[in-house]
Structure 1
Amino acid sequence: MKKLFLIIGAPGSGKTTDAQLIAQNHADKIVHYSTGDLLRNEVASGSERGRLIESFTSKGNLVPLHIVVETIVTAIKNAPKDVILIDGYPRSVEQMESLDNVLKSQDGVALISVIEVDVSEAVAKERVLGRARGADDNTEVFNNRMRVYQEPLKAIQEFYTRSKILKRINGERTIAEIVKEMEDFIQSKI
């Protein structure tokens, strides 16, 4: 049985870095996928799907549901380890419901927890604009990405709270403190 942990957080919350470090520390049993990286790899491949994905991401908008779910489910099925961390998903109520439906129809994967790395909008903006690593790291795109993240957040939190699998972590500490708390939590569940 594969054990799935979803890690959500605002742009700049550190969710990808946190998940990467945990997977590196436990490379024998944990694999990490970033939704963003899965989609960027598709864009970089130059495929038709990649060009379609880029037409959405370049404006800070969400990639259509069926493309994202297909990409994630494929990654889970092909994962070489039994513990899977996926960050940056779900980003909408529809993505959450779609994955929930897919997981209910499969025996081999259990969603163990959704971990929210909680940061203020001010901290997120400072981090994203401070790193400015790509064309999508500017104030206008950040504001859109933040709005896209925040709009469904309450419904996502409520859904996973009802399921008793939401874990919130303060993301405004050092990377070491955040990773330790997240790592301890994941270890306690596997």
Structure 2
Amino acid sequence: MLNLVLFGPPGAGKGTQSEKLINKYNLVHLSTGDLLRSQIAAGTELGLQAKSLMDKGILVPDEVVIGMIDTKLNENPSAAGFIFDGFPRTVRQAEALDTLLGQHNTGITVMVALVVDQEELTKRLLLRGQTSGRADDQNEELIRRRVQEYNEKTTPVASYYEQQGKYVAIDGIGEIDQIFGLICQKVEAAQSLES
């Protein structure tokens, strides 16, 4: 089973690359952002709670996200693998994910980090805000706070996977297909090490 963590700050291109990886490797997409937005759109209690936190640029509690991921794993028992997009963001979440995957007799194959600088991220997110209508992508100060929070909390996660020999960094600036090709090389190298 191929379990891939796609890592990168908001605006790094995770959504674009996720779609390509899902199609190529027949993976189930686990985007915590999408899971949360669907809860918000449905107006669930969890969704309203999450929206209140997200509007302030604060992350949703781990146990809520792990619970949603567990549900998705249980809904897809015959999946070829999963792509984790936007999760884990902390070492505690990475450990919880390892524990959860272990309960499903699987684990993370590789963590791919898309590396993009602050100015490019801000530019991309403001542009996305103009077309998507997402309020969190229309405020430059909020964008910078999200990116700063991402960097502060997630750098240790990269180290966590690096210690396991599962971390690779890819330059997230360039042609989409070129970046995708580099990701595929790293994924296939990791798969060959696993088998």
TM-score by length of 1: 0.90
Structure 1 residue ranges, 4+ long, deviating more than 6 angstroms after superposition: none
Task: Please list, as runs of the form range in 1=range in 2, the aligned pairs for 1:80-119 lying within 5 A after superposition.
Answer: 81-104=79-102, 106-119=103-116
Cα offset, 1:20, TM superposition? 0.9
**Structure-1 separation of matches of 2:178 and 2:164:** 27
Alignment of 1:1-190 (within 5 A): 2-26=1-25, 29-79=26-76, 81-104=79-102, 106-132=103-129, 133=132, 134-137=134-137, 138-188=139-189, 189=191
Give RMSD over aligned pairs: 1.7
* Residues 104-153 of structure 1: CA deviation (Å, up to 9, x unaligned): 4x142221111111111111111111111211111121012112101123
Per-residue CA shift, 1:60-87, capped at 9, x if unaligned?
A: 2100111011111222232352221111
- Listed as ranges, the gaps of 5+ residues in structure 2 are none
Q: Distance in 2 between matches of 1:53 and 1:6?
A: 22
Letter in 2 for 1:127: R
TM-score of the pair, normalised by structure 2: 0.88
The structure where helix makes up a greater share of residues is: 2
- Specify the code of the residue in structure 2 equivalent to 1:94: R
Identity of aligned residues (%): 30
- Deviations for 1:143-168, whole angstroms, at most 9, x for unmatched residues? 12112101123211211111100011
Residue 109 of structure 1 aligns to a residue in which SS?
coil
Equivalent pair of 1:119/1:172 in contact (CA under 8 Å): yes
Find the aligned partners of 1:113 and 1:145 in 2 and give their Cα distance.
25
Residue 86 of structure 1 aligns to a residue whose secondary structure is strand
